[in-house]
Amino acid sequence: MTIQTKPPQERFKAGDIVRYGDGVSALFRYTGTHNCDRLYGVHVLGGIHSACDMMFYDLRPASAEDLAFCRLYRPEWFD
């Protein structure tokens, strides 16, 4: 896990695709809503998701491979 010095709402902006852990579907599109250190957004496979930089999550920008996966499942995110 990477130790972050800035809170997630300062590292990401609304519309960013964020990876919150390992695994192919650990991705969501940040909606701009946050509560303290927790970000809220739409999960790549559907539904609402929230994550923070604590314990089980390591929030980081989506990689090129992540973006390709998202384009397949959520093409509307790229319109």
Q: Over the stretch 35-58, which tens digit does the pLDDT of each residue have?
A: 777 888 999 999 988 887 665 567
Structure tokens at 73: 């499942």
Q: What confidence tier does 78 reach under pLDDT thresholds 50, 70, 90?
A: very high
pLDDT of 4 higher than 70: no
Q: What confidence tier does 76 reach under pLDDT thresholds 50, 70, 90?
A: very high
pLDDT of 27 higher than 90: yes
pLDDT at 22: 86
CA distance from start to end of the chain: 32
Q: Which of 67, 14, 22 is nearest to 44 (CA)?
A: 67
pLDDT at 38: 80
Q: What is the amino acid identity at position 38?
A: R
